[in-house]
Amino acid sequence: MDNNGKTNLNPSEAAIYSQPTRLTGAETVWATMVGEGVRDVFGYPGGAILPVYDALRKFPIRHILVRHEQGAAHMADGYARASGRVGVAIATSGPGATNLVTGIATAMLDSIPMVCVTGQVSSKVLGTDAFQEIDITGITLPITKHNYLVNRTEDIAPALREAFRIAKSGRPGPVLVDITKDAQQNSAIFDFAAAAPAPYRPHPMLSADSVAIREALELLRTAKRPVILAGQGILHSRAMEQVRTLAERAQIPVACTLLGLTAFPASHPLNLGMMGMHGESWVNHAIQQADLLIACGMRFDDRVTGSLSTYAQNAKKIHIEIDPAEINKNVRVDVALVGDLKEILETMLPRMPKRDGAAWLRTISTMKGSAAVHDIQQLPDNGHLYAAHVINDIWRETGGEAIIVTDVGQHQMWEAQYYKHEQPRSLVTSGGLGTMGFALPAAIGAKVACPDKEVWVVAGDGGFQMTSAELSTIVQEQLKINIAIVNNGYLGMVRQWQEAFYEKNYECTPLISPDFVKLADAHGIRGAHVNRRAEVIPTVREARQHGKVFLIDFHVEQEDSVYPMIPPGAALHEMIRRPKPSPLVETATEI
């Protein structure tokens, strides 16, 4: 109650939510978060955020101490992707805040709900280049959905509450709240209810009127070769059931984007698999031959379209999307239904005509017949260890039920091709920004969010080294995470491009790594090397049975490449196919 910021807060009392109470700004930060339902935060302290850390012990919040603030942002991101709840990252001013930047951008490009809180120098010295002062709201302006510079205690709760609302509403995204140190130290009346943000205002350009819905239904009724394009928006909108009903009732095959892979069960007979640059050939051919595309919560990213001028030329396009700025951005569409996917599908489904899709499904299965990866498990061991086998075995052993958190590169694409996800949100991967170093910290976030789920990291030898310091975080937090390093001795995806487009000039892509098992050992983490295919399953079993974090270093074929592959600028159907004979393809003729 006095002016130097001391209050008599009793954390066990929920009274602070029922009656206005005087709190310090620091206490307000936590009280607001608790009120917003936050249970876990990821952060790293420093001078400008110390008051907030000092008040932490009074609140029922788990704080995970990271080893680098980029890790905090990725953890908050992984937390959000795995659970659908808003992730929270905390950092100090200056370098703490700038270290968050890559993580914020990663969340921005993939529309992940996240709130970052940073400390800022005192308002009295703002703008003077004070020690560790940096204009983080300026820096993050283009990579946040919104951000705030708060320099008065009484503004903290309203700004934070609004930040949570913005982060999770509409098309989700990261929000940053920068709070000056004096605002944290001073006290003001905390009134949680009065700090409630104005109600969410849907984007004024949303439109899914009856005319447009009728047009969409008419296109669906007359289509002969329709394909549903399933994106991450299905997860955000929680429209898995509705998309499934649409597909089943109208017998429409479903192609998934990388981030949409878990929006539709892999084992579902209508699921074709992943589309795009490393999608299987029949998926891309189906899209190219389609006469109708129903895009659900996806944004026609260049990784899924190939060259735009040749993309699905014979197809009418229906785009169901919550962000009006995505309509006609890359691909011109015939009918745009701009709004919440689930609501729109629920309006459409009762009027959805039954269709006979058999002929088109047969056509696709014929295309698939000659190219499909049937079951690479049955392929004879030729003495080499392929990443695809590693992923395939992890899939078998986990029954497709684990949360897999990947890094970026070849292993990421093999994961997408060979791990068949059955559960929504069970793949956590950086799509839009393609951020190496994402996997390990994002897996920590996923595990904290879903402690009862099995969590696997699948990372390359390159990307793993970008954030491997977070191994200590896993140990400190006693998290059970399984780590698979797909170690090919290269920055593999870049090497693959050098092989395909730069005359095998492997400039700066071979890389030396530490002995990852010894690195694990130095952290008190059990680990194992795997060099042969026969060792994969026993080691995966050992890892899963081990009660604590376990690291497996898979030494895989070094110059293996991901196929199919669409070269840059080529059409979606102009794929470079797997060379034959391939140790990864069992074609009908080879059986």
Supply the residues annotated as catalytic.
69, 131-132, 181, 493
Tell me how far, at minimum, the Cβ of 405 lies from ligand TPP, in Å: 14
C-beta closer to other proteins: residue 318 or 562: 318
If binding is defined by CB under 6 A, does position 461 make contact with ligand TPP? yes
**Rounded to whole angstroms, how far apart are CA atoms 236 and 119?**
30
Tell me how far, at minimum, the Cβ of 386 lies from ligand TPP, in Å: 12
Tell me how far, at minimum, the Cβ of 205 lies from other proteins, in Å: 4
Nearest CA to 253 out of 395, 335, 366, 404 is that of: 366
Among 146, 152, 480, 544, binds other proteins (CB under 8 A): 146
Q: Which stretch binds Mg ion (CB under 5 A): 152-160, 355-363, 454-462, 554-562?
A: 454-462
Six token digits for residue 376: 């690479």
Six token digits for residue 493: 């995806």
Q: Which does 547 bind (CB under 5 to 8 A by kind): ligand TPP, Mg ion, other proteins, none?
A: none
Among 80, 149, 259, 440, binds other proteins (CB under 8 A): 149
**Rounded to whole angstroms, how far apart are CA atoms 570 and 305?**
10
Among 70, 137, 185, 262, binds other proteins (CB under 8 A): 137
| Chain centre to alpha carbon of residue 341 | 19
If binding is defined by CB under 5 A, does position 460 make contact with Mg ion? yes
C-beta closer to Mg ion: residue 298 or 483: 483
Burial class (CB in 10 A: 0-12, 13-18, 19+), 209: exposed
Q: Strands 87-91 and 114-120, how do they pair?
A: parallel
If binding is defined by CB under 6 A, does position 460 make contact with ligand TPP? yes
If binding is defined by CB under 8 A, does position 329 make contact with other proteins? yes
If binding is defined by CB under 8 A, does position 152 make contact with other proteins? no
C-beta closer to ligand TPP: residue 81 or 342: 81
Residues 369-408 that bind ligand TPP (CB under 6 A): 407-408
Site string for Mg ion, 412-451 (x = CB under 5 A): ----------------------------------------
> Which strand ranges, in their side-by-side order, compose the sheet holding 40-43?
62-65, 40-43, 87-91, 114-120, 174-180, 146-150
Q: Which stretch binds other proteins (CB under 8 A): 203-211, 242-250, 346-354, 541-549?
A: 203-211
**Rounded to whole angstroms, how far apart are CA atoms 479 and 64?**
11
Six token digits for residue 222: 């007359």
- The number of residues that bind Mg ion (CB under 5 A) is 5
Bridge partners of 255? Answer: 229, 273
Among 141, 193, 522, 588, binds other proteins (CB under 8 A): 141
Q: Are 557 and 386 in contact (CB under 8 A)?
A: yes
Tell me how far, at minimum, the Cβ of 238 lies from other proteins, in Å: 22
Backbone angles phi, psi at 491, to 5 degrees: -75, 85
**Rounded to whole angstroms, how far apart are CA atoms 588 and 175?**
51
Distances (CA, A) of 490 to 94, 216, 245, 509: 34, 47, 43, 5
If binding is defined by CB under 8 A, does position 450 make contact with other proteins? no
Residue nearest to ligand TPP (CB): 460
Nearest CA to 293 out of 277, 278, 269, 272 is that of: 272
Helix 101-109 / helix 69-83 crossing angle, nearest 10 deg: 20
- The number of residues that bind other proteins (CB under 8 A) is 25
Among 211, 508, 522, 588, binds other proteins (CB under 8 A): 211
Burial class (CB in 10 A: 0-12, 13-18, 19+), 267: exposed
Residues 408-437 that bind ligand TPP (CB under 6 A): 408-411, 434-437
If binding is defined by CB under 6 A, does position 492 make contact with ligand TPP? yes
C-beta closer to ligand TPP: residue 320 or 459: 459
Q: Which does 205 bind (CB under 5 to 8 A by kind): other proteins, Mg ion, ligand TPP, none?
A: other proteins
Nearest CA to 169 out of 177, 178, 161 is that of: 161
Q: Strands 455-460 and 403-406, how do they pair?
A: parallel
Tell me how far, at minimum, the Cβ of 436 lies from Mg ion, in Å: 10
If binding is defined by CB under 8 A, does position 336 make contact with other proteins? yes
If binding is defined by CB under 8 A, does position 209 make contact with other proteins? yes
Which residues make up the interface to ligand TPP (CB under 6 A)?
407-411, 434-437, 460-463, 486, 488, 490-494
Contact residues for Mg ion (CB under 5 A)? 460-462, 488, 492
